[in-house]
Amino acid sequence: MSVREWVAVYLKGAAMGAADAVPGVSGGTIALITGIYDRFITALAGLDPREAWALLPFLARVHQDDARAELRAALGVLDVPFLVVLGLGVVSAAVTVANLVEAARTTYPALTYAFFFGLIAASVVVLWSELDLTTPNRKFVAVLGFALAFAVSGQASATLPAGLATMFVAGAIAICAMVLPGVSGSLLLLTLGQYHVITSAVETATDAVLNANLGNATAPVTTLAAFSLGAAVGIVSFARVVAWALDTYRAATLTFLVALMAGALRAPGQVIVDETTAWTPETALALLAVAAVGALAVLGLERATGDITY
């Protein structure tokens, strides 16, 4: 691939990362729009610990020209360079957007979560119209998904123990959404009560690095490392389970996922209520306006991509 093509892959990854950092927007949808979804999923499916183990002999002889050539060829077959460049784009944009979100959440919490509410609600409306709820089983799955997300939303941060294990599990769960157009990984984090933990850790780590105060970066970097490790495990395990479920029980799986999104609206809704100290007509109008902007963003994206299938 040429330098121009690699830059294009990086920019597409950046678009995915920016989307994944915002609850209600899906990086999978961006991958679909930019035309790399199939290649992305195929490359992920090719990730296998056994394949990595098979590369060890080449690494042991990396000082030899023939070994380096064979290693490059093997990595090329697995499309690892593509995933690395795409991943750099995802991470760099996600970090940037997470810092912006954390600043907005700290300064204007109610308005920020009203925007999230609009994004999520519109996503539910768009996806719900594509579901088939004609069978009792799918209706049961829809009720189950909604009830589960509603019960967990707003309570998870109080019930889930703080620590690296929670971050690991959150990373493994959130990364699954990355392979599903329309489903937001950040929304799953919000449902689990861990979204603000991640954005806060990103902001603290970024500030520490920019101010050359690396001592303050230890705790947030450890948190992000646990999250990233969980995401890596999720890519090679949970994501495959979700992909299998979509292939085998597509209608029921999509119904469950969309119902989860609907039930998860409780999370931003609760923050809006808690952070709004005075309910005046002006406050209500501002919240509705911001939510409408979020909803219109999703509806506009759907209008632009409605003819794309996956």
**pLDDT > 80? residue 51:** no
Give residue-wise pLDDT tens across range 227-258: 999 988 887 776 677 667 777 888 888 888 88
How far is CA 103 from each of CA 198, 207, 224, rounded to the nearest angstrom?
A: 13, 12, 18
C-alpha to C-alpha distance for 236 and 45, rounded to whole angstroms? 8
Half-sphere exposure of 2 (CA within 13 A, CB side): 3
**pLDDT > 80? residue 75:** no
**pLDDT > 80? residue 309:** no
**pLDDT > 90? residue 61:** no
Closest CA to 259 of 191, 168, 175: 191
C-alpha to C-alpha distance for 191 and 276, rounded to whole angstroms? 20
Task: Identify the three-state secondary structure at position 168.
Answer: helix
**pLDDT > 90? residue 292:** yes
Q: Which of 4-18, 198-212, 253-267 has the lowest mean pLDDT?
A: 253-267
Confidence of residue 40 (pLDDT cuts 50, 70, 90): confident
Confidence of residue 78 (pLDDT cuts 50, 70, 90): confident
Task: Please enumerate in sequence order all residues whose Cβ is within 8 A of that of 298, keeping only pairs 6 or more positions apart, or say none.
Answer: 24, 25, 118, 119, 122, 123, 126
**pLDDT > 60? residue 308:** no
- Give this prediction's pTM: 0.75
Tokens coding 121: 């609600």
The per-residue pLDDT for 310 is: 46
Amino acid at 270: Q
Task: Please enumerate in sequence order all residues whose Cβ is within 8 A of that of 229, keeping only pairs 6 or more positions apart, or say none.
Answer: 168, 171
Tokens coding 6: 């690699």
Give residue-wise pLDDT tens across range 63-73: 667 666 766 77
DSSP code, position 135: S
Helix 218-236 crosses helix 195-210 at what angle (to 10 degrees)? 130
The per-residue pLDDT for 63 is: 63
Mean pLDDT of the chain: 82
Closest CA to 85 of 176, 10, 188, 139: 10
Confidence of residue 115 (pLDDT cuts 50, 70, 90): very high
Q: Give percent of the chain with pLDDT exceeding 70.
A: 84
Give residue-wise pLDDT tens across range 146-157: 998 888 776 655
Task: Identify the three-state secondary structure at position 46.
Answer: coil
C-alpha to C-alpha distance for 24 and 119, rounded to whole angstroms? 5
List the chain domain ranges: 3-305
C-alpha to C-alpha distance for 177 and 174, rounded to whole angstroms? 6
Half-sphere exposure of 163 (CA within 13 A, CB side): 4
More confident site: 135 or 62: 135
**pLDDT > 90? residue 81:** no
C-alpha 159: how far from its chain's center?
A: 22
**pLDDT > 70? residue 143:** yes
Confidence of residue 188 (pLDDT cuts 50, 70, 90): confident
**pLDDT > 70? residue 19:** yes
Closest CA to 123 of 310, 307, 301: 301
